Amino acid sequence: MLEDFFVLDFSYDVVDNIPVIFIWSIDRRGNRVTLVEKNFRPYFYAVVDDREDVSRVISEIKKLSKPSSPITNIEIETDRRYFGNPLKSLKIETVVPAYVRIYRDEVSKIKGVKNVLEADIRFYMRYSIDKGIKPFYWIKADVEEIQPKEIFKVKSEKLYLIKDILEIYEAEEPRLKTMAFSIEVYNKYGFPNTRRDPIIVIGVYTENGYKQFISSDYDDINVIREFIKFVNDFEPDIIFGYNSNSFDWRYLVERAELRGIKVAIGRKVNSEPSQGVYGHYSVTGRLNVDLAGVFCSSRSKSLIDLADNLGVMPKNKREILEWYEVPRYWDDKSKREILLKHNLSNIKSIYDIGQSNLHYLIQLVKVTGLPLDQLSMASSGHRIEWLLVRESKKYNEFIPNREERRTEASDEGIIVPPVSGLHNNVYMLDFSTIYPSIILKYNISPDTLVRGDCSDCWTSLNGNYKFRKDIKGLYQNVLLNLSAEIERREEIIKTLDPEKRRRLEEELRALRSILNSFYDYIRWTNARWYVKECAEGLFEWGRELILQILKIVKESGFQVIYADTDLMFFKGENDPKKLEEDIANRLSLNLKFNKFYTKLILLEGKKQYAALTKDNKVDMVGIEDYRNNWCDLAKEVLQNVVDQVLRSDKINEAVRYVKSVIYSLRRGEFKIEDLVTWNIIDKDIEEYKFDLPHIVAARKAMKSGHLVTRGSKIGYVIVKGSGKLSNRAEPYFMVKEKSKVDIEYYIDKQIIPSALKVLGLFGVKENTFKFGGTDVLNFFKK
């Protein structure tokens, strides 16, 4: 029978020594169903030296065949290319996917085999690539409903055996069931440890509102069981979290195992969340989305900051607790309601951020073909790479093996050094938009590169890099397709009502993010398609174009206060629209100035700035890269100094603020927790050869009976005393009296340096905070 299915995800299992592909789907009636493919087999390629006898190589390969997963077929292929060059290869097929890597290693040792390719593609992704099926597309398939479901251990409403896939098409997706969750842990003695600290609250949020599973005492067995039951009853397709891969899932799974509970929430019987290739937790048949990974450029931000910046939940509308305050609010029953409101604020923020960005995520999945749970944790480079992996099949190009290459020192430098200080009314131009045009114009691609003489090539200015004109390269084909999709949507969007416009705007945001990330991909030394000449050629043409743009900006009466190969800042009173027109007319570039800042603080380093947007929000880049030994108060001082300088222009006000922090510290008006420095114990304590502060603190905690293991996060404060600084590091929970804390260390080594990172630009010296006088900067007038 013919049925239509909306594809959510793929997985595979080996059943009776036969590999089985599972396609987790939704049918036209809204049923959650599973499609089973039993006839697809794993394979890889061996590249054979042209001078070798192929029949001998085939004979040698056949001798490797093992009864547990025999080599079932070997085919000679001569039409596949590797970086544009034709190769003679053997397609080697087996039965069990795990044996591909075993055979890869053995085949690579056979005389005459030059290389082994495509042996590192996961089996279910290989199926998805070969069949051309991507998540969030519809497929029309000839299927047969099968029973019993117990054979394949699936919990779906219906199970179908695939006979044939007839069509793959785009259409409106069915209603997807989504939920968000977040956990709270009773961690009285430092960072949460699964062997010691129970889960006291698990909050979930759905379209129906929220639920909180709350411990009646300090036992989390029922809390975990109630959460498992909720997930299985609600049957979400997508589960949103924030830092859930690095904390919530890991903690929940490990804690449940210690309590003898299986977190069986997948759509296969007894399937638990398991860690996958990008560090994400995979939930079979469902899509686990860690929003901290989606907003990778904001990973240093907390959920609270992200929700505030996105307008989802302003800071003044939520309950805010630090994680180390949870035990205090739990122990005091009169304060538990505040803890529960804090958890509710978190889960509602996660849910709203997920829902408002869902169409953007769906489009990224459709472009790259990565399942949503993997995409949420994959870097922009990995996303582009999977797009190239899929597209390479269309052009008969082999997928290169992944290689670890040494990162080469960049010579791109700074084009215009930063004019450090505070600037008003500044425009920013992001050059990431020009690089796709350069790739298209000069056909830059690994498969078009010519290393010798060429009479019909695009040749770089210094003559070092040549790219063929007579064929379209892989990169050019991919970028043309992306550009066409963008142009098509830009035309459609003009005719739509606001609601439909918003969806298309999210799709355009996704397409543009992929298009404009190609420059970073080409420079990524660990990319499968990395070729040094492509990166350097693109850089050379790009730099020349930027110098032309720079000249036009200056001729138009603007002052350039910073420029590198990624972005430019400039300011002036002339009309920026006229400048855009000049650039378009003279260089045939449709450039838009990406941002306008009412205030901008430029530091002296590359791409280090803080800026105030027209809607009164602060962007910080480079400045917020805190040192590992900075406490929360030092970070807060830096952020507040930036905020005051940008919003008021009054340097004296910022100086007075920093002085007030110093005075408060000396008067004992602080929380010990604000001075804690956190570090991860990334190996066994015995393996550390040096007495680092956090290791000394960890040893002291262990000596007093506290549990510290590899992976633990240890918080410490520096106390008064003599001798080495590291010997004065104490676990923060063992320091009960503020008078023991070495306040002068924090003032001299953390608070003042963090403030001077910005205030030093305006002539403020260290002595300003030590010997009084906040009026030394009266000369500063803007």
Which pLDDT tens digit goes with each residue over 39-50? 999 999 999 999
| Residue 780 parent element (H or E) | none
The answer for 770, left when phi > 0, alpha when psi is -120 to 50, beta otherwise, is alpha
Distance, CA of 611 to CA of 568 (rounded, Å): 14
The answer for 497, left when phi > 0, alpha when psi is -120 to 50, beta otherwise, is beta
pLDDT per residue as tens digits for the range 159-202:
999 999 999 999 999 999 999 999 999 998 888 899 999 999 99
pLDDT of residue 233: 97
Distance, CA of 371 to CA of 23 (rounded, Å): 11
Report residue 409's pLDDT band, with 50, 70 and 90 as the boundaries.
Answer: low
- Window from 28-32, 142-146, 774-778 with minimum mean pLDDT: 774-778
Q: Are 323 and 201 in contact (CB under 8 A)?
A: no
pLDDT of residue 247: 92
pLDDT of residue 765: 93
Report residue 780's pLDDT band, with 50, 70 and 90 as the boundaries.
Answer: very low
pLDDT of residue 296: 64
Match domain 2-39+131-169 to its CATH number in 3.40.50.150, 2.40.50.730, 3.40.50.450, 3.30.70.580.
Answer: 2.40.50.730
Domain chopping of the chain, boundaries: 2-39+131-169, 44-120, 178-356, 380-613, 623-782
Average pLDDT over residues 3-25: 97
Average pLDDT over residues 209-230: 96
741 vs 148, more confident: 741
pLDDT of residue 781: 39
Is residue 310 predicted with pLDDT exceeding 90?
A: no
The DSSP annotation for 404-452 comes to --PPPPP---EEE----EEEEEEEEEEGGGTHHHHHHHHT--TTTEE-S
**pTM for the whole structure:** 0.90
The DSSP annotation for 309-329 comes to HTTSS-GGGS----GGGHHHH
pLDDT of residue 775: 44
- How many helices (H) and strands (E) the chain has is answered by 23, 31
In the CATH scheme, what is the homologous superfamily, with its name and number, of domain 623-782? B family DNA polymerase, thumb domain (1.10.132.60)
Please state which CATH class domain 380-613 belongs to.
alpha beta
Report residue 777's pLDDT band, with 50, 70 and 90 as the boundaries.
Answer: very low
In the CATH scheme, what is the homologous superfamily, with its name and number, of domain 178-356? Ribonuclease H-like superfamily/Ribonuclease H (3.30.420.10)
pLDDT of residue 771: 63
pLDDT of residue 782: 37
Percent of the chain with pLDDT over 90: 76
pLDDT per residue as tens digits for the range 528-579:
999 999 999 999 999 999 999 999 999 999 999 999 998 999 999 888 889 9
Helix (H, G, I), strand (E, B) or coil at 571: strand
Q: What angle do CA 334, 338, 340 make, to 5 degrees?
A: 110
pLDDT of residue 719: 96
Average pLDDT over residues 583-594: 85
Match domain 44-120 to its CATH number in 3.30.342.10, 3.30.1280.10, 3.90.1150.10, 3.20.20.80.
Answer: 3.30.342.10
pLDDT per residue as tens digits for the range 722-768:
989 999 999 998 999 999 999 999 999 999 999 999 999 999 999 99
Tokens 């695939």: give the residue: 162
Is residue 22 predicted with pLDDT exceeding 90?
A: yes
Q: Which of 613, 568, 583, 608 is nearest to 431 (CA)?
A: 568
Average pLDDT over residues 429-439: 92
Distance, CA of 766 to CA of 756 (rounded, Å): 7
- Window from 222-236, 248-262, 409-423, 552-566 with minimum mean pLDDT: 409-423
- Window from 64-78, 238-252, 267-281, 764-778 with minimum mean pLDDT: 764-778
- Window from 67-76, 305-314, 427-436, 717-726 with minimum mean pLDDT: 305-314
Residue 537 exposed, middle or buried by CB count within 10 Å (0-12, 13-18, 19+): buried
- Window from 198-212, 216-230, 552-566, 683-697 with minimum mean pLDDT: 683-697
Average pLDDT over the chain reads 92
CA atoms lying within 13 Å on the CB side of residue 249: 24
